[in-house]
Amino acid sequence: MKINAAEGKLGILVIGVGGAVSTTFIAGTLSVRKGHGTPIGSLTQLATIRLGKRNENRFPKIKDVVPLADLKDLVFGGWDIFEENLYEAARHAEVLSKDDLEVVKDELTVIRPMKAVFDQNYVKRLHGTHVKEGKTRWDLMEQVREDIRSFKKENNCDRVVVMWAASTEVFIPQSKEHNTLADFENALKENNTEVISPSMCYAYASMAEGCPFIMGAPNLCVDIPAMWEFAEKKQVPICGKDYKTGQTMLKTVLAPMLKTRMLGLDGWFSTNILGNRDGEVLDDPGSFKTKEVSKLSVIDTILQTDIYPELYGNIYHKVRINYYPPRKDNKEGWDNIDIVGWLGYPMQLKVDFLCRDSILAAPLCLDLVLFADLSSRCGFYGIQTWLSFYFKSPMHDADHVPEHDLFIQHTILKNTLRKIIGEETIDYLD
């Protein structure tokens, strides 16, 4: 496989660059490359990969054998609806301590967001003050394209990856304007704001500029036929959607356990409390609906309810997210799982996960931008299903079924890396 070298600077443009996830990701990456932190949670930086037979004892780190961009070559920027520089934004997010931020204060202070594409109707609980103006969605998309070109030129970047780490938009159903590229472009130009969201403006602009695009929220965005058509036309990698961090990560581990042991399931009740900007946005029913669809899709797909109706044919699955400001970014998720064992006898499994949302998401962001850039240099384009490991609701086209099992996803990811570097894939039968 021919792989273009990771030469020159790699620009990372983040939508929602002033948010808790983005500032934690960027500040953490800057700290790691200064030698002040450990990139815990990042496969690209810490994980090993087995090569060859087990008895060969070849377990190098991924970053030592896969041609990834070096952290020293990353340049950060992006868009936000608030104009605080990243140091101010990170202090406001209250995820990382002041001491950790001071280490990279100079670098964070000079990163100032570009004005964002914003529509109050899509994120009802936020009131953006640092936003673009344009007559149509097409005009706004063209402004984003110009931003990408300017950033690339001003920072002497060889390549750029664009990542969505902004808030969850309100739920919109797929419509006929999403089915073909021609109809989608007409909707952009005609300013059909009911079917063209702000995130779609970014995604189209990114692909138009040849930049891989990562959708980190459950928004309807690149998971539509029009965007797949455009990705193929521009030969650009796309992936998403919705970073798999807390409660859903646990579901992708626990649900496979139930199915592997052929244990039944009557019900799964999940609730969360969260206090950051994400929690505030999800307090709106429209945005929560988008998130709910993403979180609910996991169990049915893993358990294959149509194949095992006697075990999983009548599951009651409920998901709730509650905005609770005192917790800030420290999310707590409770799961009550009613399982069924031998001869139909009931049992229960209860999980209380006290996690830090942005701390879990930051390493995913780092891995995704490096792997998206690798995909582009390998000549991959369209939906990158091999990156499903990182998402709650992995993107797939109409001809494929998404894989949700975390461990199968992990095997697919590493086998793809093996293929990229010319090694044999592993089926673990040896």
3-state secondary structure of 268: strand
Cα dihedral value 78, 69, 243, 405, nearest 10: 170
pLDDT the model gives residue 402: 87
- Any domain includes 425: no
Domain boundary among 305, 325, 355: 355
pLDDT the model gives residue 156: 98
- CA atoms lying within 13 Å on the CB side of residue 46: 11
User: What CATH number did the domain enclosing 334 receive?
Assistant: 3.30.360.10
Residues 300 and 364 in one domain: no
Per-residue pLDDT tens for 102-148?
999 999 999 999 999 999 999 988 899 999 999 999 999 999 999 99
- Any domain includes 71: yes
pTM of the model: 0.94
Q: Do 151 and 11 touch, CB atoms closer than 8 A?
A: yes
- Give the confidence band of 289 by pLDDT, cuts at 50, 70, 90: confident
Q: Do 31 and 103 touch, CB atoms closer than 8 A?
A: yes
Instruction: Provide the domain limits for residue 324.
Output: 247-355
- Any domain includes 429: no
Report the DSSP beta bridge partners of residue 336.
269, 350
Query: How far, rounded to the nearest angstrom, does the alpha carbon of residue 182 sit from its chain's CA centroid?
Result: 27
Per-residue pLDDT tens for 154-184?
999 999 999 999 999 999 999 999 999 999 9
Q: Do 168 and 278 touch, CB atoms closer than 8 A?
A: yes
Rg of the chain in Å (alpha carbons): 21
Residues 235 and 363 in one domain: yes
- For all residues of the chain together, what is the average pLDDT? 94
User: What CATH number did the domain enclosing 366 receive?
Assistant: 3.40.50.720
Residues 150 and 271 in one domain: no
Residues 42 and 14 in one domain: yes
- Any domain includes 351: yes
- Any domain includes 337: yes
Alpha-helical regions (H) of 155-197: 181-189
Residues 370 and 330 in one domain: no
Question: One-letter amino acid identity for 79?
Answer: W
Total number of domains constituting the chain: 2
- Any domain includes 2: no
Per-residue pLDDT tens for 180-234?
999 999 999 999 999 999 999 999 999 999 999 999 999 999 999 999 999 999 9
Spatial distance between the Cα atoms of 186 and 172, rounded to a whole number of angstroms = 18
Residue 388: closest CA among 366, 361, 365, 406: 406
Residues 120 and 32 in one domain: yes
Residues 264 and 378 in one domain: no
Query: How far, rounded to the nearest angstrom, does the alpha carbon of residue 361 sit from its chain's CA centroid?
Result: 8
Q: Which two tokens stand for residue 54?
A: 């087990």
User: What does DSSP say about strands 74-80 and 237-240: parallel, antiparallel, or unpaired?
Assistant: unpaired
Q: Which two tokens stand for residue 123?
A: 């994120």
Domain boundary among 322, 355, 388: 355
Q: Which residue has the tokens 């990705």?
A: 231
Q: Which residue has the tokens 């990456």?
A: 29
Residues 195 and 99 in one domain: yes
Residues 182 and 35 in one domain: yes
Domain boundary among 320, 337, 355: 355
- Any domain includes 327: yes
Residues 273 and 407 in one domain: no
Query: How far, rounded to the nearest angstrom, does the alpha carbon of residue 376 sit from its chain's CA centroid?
Result: 17
Per-residue pLDDT tens for 63-79?
999 999 999 999 999 99
Q: Which two tokens stand for residue 288?
A: 């929560």
Spatial distance between the Cα atoms of 263 and 90, rounded to a whole number of angstroms = 44
Q: Which residue has the tokens 């669809």?
A: 293
Residues 299 and 269 in one domain: yes
Residues 164 and 151 in one domain: yes
Spatial distance between the Cα atoms of 248 and 272, rounded to a whole number of angstroms = 11
Per-residue pLDDT tens for 329-383?
888 999 999 999 999 999 999 999 999 999 999 999 999 999 999 999 999 999 9
Residue 282: closest CA among 127, 392, 168: 168
- Give the confidence band of 291 by pLDDT, cuts at 50, 70, 90: low
- Any domain includes 151: yes
